[in-house]
Structure 1
Amino acid sequence: MRNIFMVEDNQDIREILDIFLTAEGYNVYPFGTVKEFKKRNPEIIPDLYLFDAMLPDGSGIDLCNEIKNNINNKAAVIIMSANMKIDQTRKLCIPDDYISKPFDLSDFLKKIQGVIL
């Protein structure tokens, strides 16, 4: 099974995506804040990081840069945002893909399948 680390502060979205992705066969590790994410189990290696761009205690953009700057990282990064556009996001970090909120779940799944090989 593929592992997804998801940082999303909206509890409803986090729960829906957790249930949806789990039903699609992924192991999902949901976090509501950057602080929670920083306490993740380092022994679990994700295939994908799914970050909300704006979080209450930090930024998915900063997390994207942190992950992308780690030479040992092999996982993809997708940024989700209701406020930022893809062009704005790519000026601040280089995610593997971008998901605009609100989104259709089938399109969302296609984007995830597209970056997880």
Structure 2
Amino acid sequence: MKKKEIFIVEDDDGIRELIEYLLISQDYKVQTFPNAERFKQTIDSRSPDLILLDVMLPDGNGLEICECLGEKERTHNIPVLLMSAHAQVDTQKTANARDFIAKPFDIEDFLHRIEKHVKDHPAA
């Protein structure tokens, strides 16, 4: 069975590495991006099973990126979980956002949310 693939878009090296470690330890395939530009270069050619997207990036706005993903035919069904330490996001008003994770987060809750949304996403 194919491993589920998760993209992480997070500019903080420590947080990005921690999330990557947690997800790999749960047997997910992980691709990380330190900024919006590198993510945008890859998302046009790959379709992950889930995207973890920081709201505040040095070169982009996670909310706007999420909206764009929701508008594109190829990416609108990919679950996007927004993350931020600075803002609470109403996922009902943000196109394509399935959930919001406040940082810092509880590891068990974080992994539970990931599992739930990956299970809900049909295999590509």
- TM-score, normalised relative to structure 1: 0.90
CA distance in 2, matches of 1:54, 1:33: 10
What per-residue deviation string (whole Å, max 9, x for no partner) do you get for residues 45-72 of structure 1?
2000110000000011111111111122
Distance change in 2, residues 1:35/1:69 (3 Å):
same
Amino acid corresponding to residue 83 of structure 2 in structure 1: M
Could you tell me which residue of structure 2 aligns to residue 45 of structure 1?
A: 47
Find the aligned partners of 2:95 and 2:46 in 1 and give their Cα distance.
Answer: 24
For residues 41 and 80 of structure 1, the distance between their equivalents in structure 2, rounded to whole angstroms, comes to 18
Aligned residues: 116
Match in the other structure for 2:116: 114
Describe the superposition over 1:23-81 as per-residue Cα deviations: whole angstroms up to 9, x where unpaired: 10111110000111122164432000110000000011111111111122221000001
Identity %: 37
Could you tell me which runs of 5 or more consecutive residues in structure 2 were left unpaired when the two chains were aligned: 120-124
Amino acid at match of 1:100: A
**Alignment match of 1:84 (pick from 83, 87, 90):** 87
User: Counterpart of 1:55?
Assistant: 57
TM-fit CA distance, 1:91? 3.7
Give the distance between the partners of 1:51 and 1:22, measured in 2 at CA.
Answer: 17
How far, CA to CA, are the matches of 1:76 and 1:66 in structure 2?
13
Q: What does 1:1-117 align with in structure 2 at a 5 Å threshold?
A: 1-40=3-42, 42-73=44-75, 74-87=77-90, 90-117=92-119
Q: Tell me how far apart the structure 2 counterparts of residues 62 and 53 of structure 1 sit (CA, whole Å).
A: 9
Q: Equivalents in 2 of 1:94, 1:75: separation in Å?
A: 8
Give the aligned CA root-mean-square deviation in angstroms.
1.6
